[in-house]
């Protein structure tokens, strides 16, 4: 038997309803905040990701699904969405029509990571990006949007972790201090960090290897190196979060592993899955649009890990499956087509109706209706048709009423 690829997964009925529910709530909230959907391809030229994410990142070095297509072009299954959205923003000159664009997309990403519980090689993200606004207020807006979303999804114990990554003016000073700090500690770092520490010392702060994390506890903080503009910008983020009663902590280790981030960076963490876990992350990436050949346009955005979010939401709200409004129990094969007509007519009227096509006994059909958690059962056999009225049973109250077969669809709808 052919099995699915390691690290990939099916989302089966029973679980998919949670995904649909999350999508519905998310899209409606994003639209209320002025975002429009954009749908981008899942495959791009490899160069797009190499340039935007950075050559010496784990993602580009060893996690991307990259291959030559039949014409020999080097292509990659997208490991994240921001680069593609930027590419589309530039390619279609969306900025020329209206520089401020608020865009979102929902879909699969691909990273060939070591498979582990709850981590997939095809994983899903909800991405939102705002182009054309330099004000830190829109960073706050993104955090408000995320905390609102999680509260609507009953995800509890939410906290925003924020940091500033500075700007090209002030980051070099911090990098130099960090490089000095790391120089004496090379032997305690993992091999990746030891290799990258001179070219890109910020990556060491981001490393998940426990030894590196321990080593970095005493590291210098970017906060102490921010230029006056970056500092003022970060103060504004904090003041506005406070004004909106959004709980947050300043987290100096929060440096995103991608080259193009600057100033405000954030993560939303929840204690829902036991240990503190990030369910969303994002921040400002003012340099990326220009880096990819577009105009000098500020930008900020976030990504939500859909798989993990679905896992948390499932724990909170286990019952998302829509059960049938009515089950049509039909006795005698000769009556099936008539009842089938009713079933179709009910479906067209927006009533979720199910029926049995096997001609089994009333008892076994009632059992099936019960298993499906149908709210009502309509019982129809030769006798009912002869007498011109069917029996409608409320499966919760067990009450039974007789309803005329003449105009039955309307009669049933009126009783539900």
Element holding 61 (H helix, E strand): none
Contacts of 203 (CB under 8 A, 6+ apart): 56, 57, 192, 193, 196, 197, 257
**Under rule CB under 5 A, residue 178 binds Zn ion:** no
Span interacting with Zn ion, options 81-89, 208-216, 350-358, 377-385, rule CB under 5 A: 208-216
155 binds Zn ion (CB under 5 A): no
Stretch that binds Zn ion, among 70-78, 159-167, 249-257, 287-295 (CB under 5 A): 159-167
Residues β-bridged to residue 119: 116
Comparison of 190 and 362: residue with beta carbon closer to Zn ion: 190
Q: Is 220 in the site for Zn ion (CB under 5 A)?
A: no
Residue 166 touching Zn ion (CB under 5 A): yes
Q: Which is nearer to Zn ion, 166 or 283 (CB)?
A: 166
End-to-end CA distance of the chain: 45
Min separation Cβ 258 and Zn ion, Å: 17
Site map 185..204 versus Zn ion, x via CB under 5 A: -----x--x-----------
Mapping DSSP to helix (H, G, I), strand (E, B) and coil, where does residue 34 land?
coil
Nearer of residues 211 and 407 to Zn ion, judged by Cβ: 211
Q: Which of 352, 348, 327, 349 is nearest to 339 (CA)?
A: 327
Select from 128, 143, 230, 280 the one that contacts Zn ion (CB under 5 A). 230
Which span sits near Zn ion by CB under 5 A: 26-34, 167-175, 341-349, 369-377? 167-175
Residue 44, token pair as written in the block: 């791009």
DSSP label of 405 = S
Kind and range of the H or E run holding 231: helix 228-243
Report which DSSP code applies to 404: E
Binding segment toward Zn ion, per CB under 5 A, in 70-78, 169-177, 291-299, 366-374 = 169-177
In the bound complex, what is the minimum distance in angstroms from residue 206's beta carbon to Zn ion? Answer: 9
CB of 227 to Zn ion, least distance (A): 4
Q: Does residue 237 belong to the site contacting Zn ion (CB under 5 A)?
A: no
Torsion 112-115-121-124 (CA) sign: negative
> Can you read off the two tokens belonging to residue 285?
């990436």
CB of 186 to Zn ion, least distance (A): 11
Quote the crossing angle between the two packed helices 336-348 and 408-415, to the nearest 10°.
Answer: 50
Query: Does 169 help bind Zn ion (rule: CB under 5 A)?
Result: yes
Do the Cβ atoms of 364 and 353 come closer than 8 Å? Answer: no
Told to check if 207 binds Zn ion by CB under 5 A, we report yes
User: Residue 50 CA to chain centroid, in angstroms?
Assistant: 24
> Interface with Zn ion includes 227 (CB under 5 A)?
yes
Find how far residue 209's CA is from the centre of its chain: 25
Examine residue 222 and tell whether it contacts Zn ion (CB under 5 A): no
* Size, binding site for Zn ion by CB under 5 A: 11
CB of 225 to Zn ion, least distance (A): 8
- Asked whether the CA dihedral 361, 362, 364, 368 is positive or negative, the reply is positive
CB of 137 to Zn ion, least distance (A): 18
Q: Is 79 in the site for Zn ion (CB under 5 A)?
A: no
Task: In whole angstroms, give the CA distance from residue 106 to residue 82.
Answer: 12
H helix or E strand, kind and range, residue 112? none
C-beta of 40 vs 165, nearer to Zn ion: 165
- Contact range with Zn ion by CB under 5 A, out of 61-69, 222-230, 348-356, 393-401: 222-230
Site for Zn ion (CB under 5 A): which residue of 88, 134, 144, 209?
209
Q: How far is the CB of 55 from Zn ion (least distance, A)?
A: 18
Decide: is 157 part of the binding site for Zn ion (CB under 5 A): no
Phi-psi region of 347 (alpha: psi -120 to 50; beta: other; left: phi over 0): alpha
How far is Cα of residue 194 from the mean position of the Cα atoms in its chain?
33
Q: How far is the CB of 203 from Zn ion (least distance, A)?
A: 8
How deeply is 357 buried, as exposed, middle or buried, from its count of CB atoms within 10 A (0-12, 13-18, 19+)?
exposed
- Minimum distance of Zn ion from residue 165's CB (angstroms): 9
Give kind and range of the element (H or E) at residue 301. Answer: strand 299-305
CB-nearer residue toward Zn ion: 227 or 409? 227
Q: Which residues bind Zn ion (CB under 5 A)?
A: 166-167, 169-170, 190, 193, 207, 209, 212, 227, 230
């Amino acid at each position: 038997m052919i099995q699915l690829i390691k690290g990939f997964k099916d989302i089966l009925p029973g679980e998919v309803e949670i995904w649909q529910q999350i999508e519905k709530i998310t899209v409606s909230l994003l639209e209320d905040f002025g975002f429009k959907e954009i749908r981008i391809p899942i495959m791009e030229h490899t160069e797009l990701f190499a340039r935007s994410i950075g050559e010496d990142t784990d993602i580009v070095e060893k996690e991307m699904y990259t291959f030559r297509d039949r014409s020999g072009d080097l292509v990659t299954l997208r490991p994240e969405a921001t680069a593609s959205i930027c590419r589309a923003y530039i390619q279609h000159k969306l900025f020329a029509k209206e520089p401020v664009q608020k865009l979102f997309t929902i879909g699969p990403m691909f990273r060939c990571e070591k498979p582990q519980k709850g981590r997939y090689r095809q994983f899903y993200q909800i991405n939102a990006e705002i182009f054309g606004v330099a004000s830190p207020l829109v960073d706050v807006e993104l955090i408000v949007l995320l905390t609102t979303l999680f509260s609507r999804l009953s995800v509890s114990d939410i906290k925003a972790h924020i940091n500033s990554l500075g700007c090209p003016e002030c980051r070099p000073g911090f990098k130099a201090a960090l490089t000095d700090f790391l120089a004496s500690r090379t032997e305690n770092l993992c091999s990746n960090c030891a290799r990258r520490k001179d070219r890109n010392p910020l990556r060491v702060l981001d490393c998940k290897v426990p030894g590196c994390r321990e080593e970095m506890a005493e590291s210098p903080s970017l906060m102490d190196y921010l230029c006056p503009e970056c500092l003022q910008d970060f103060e504004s983020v904090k003041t506005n979060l406070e004004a909106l009663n959004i709980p947050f902590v300043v987290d100096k280790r929060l440096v995103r592993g991608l080259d193009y981030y600057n100033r405000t960076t954030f993560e939303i963490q929840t204690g829902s899955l036991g240990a503190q876990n990030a369910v969303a992350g994002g921040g400002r990436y003012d340099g990326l649009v220009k880096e990819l050949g577009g105009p000098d346009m500020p930008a900020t955005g976030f990504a939500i890990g859909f798989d993990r979010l679905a896992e948390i939401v499932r724990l909170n709200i286990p019952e998302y499956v829509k059960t049938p409004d009515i089950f049509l129990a039909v006795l005698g094969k000769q009556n099936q087509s008539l009842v089938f007509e009713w079933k179709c007519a009910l479906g067209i009227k927006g009533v979720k109706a199910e029926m049995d096509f096997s001609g089994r006994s009333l008892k076994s059909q009632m059992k099936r209706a019960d298993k499906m958690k149908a709210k009502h059962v309509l019982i129809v056999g030769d006798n009912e048709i002869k007498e011109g009225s069917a029996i409608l049973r409320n499966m919760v109250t067990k009450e039974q009423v007789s309803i005329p077969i003449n105009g039955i669809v309307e009669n049933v709808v009126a009783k539900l």
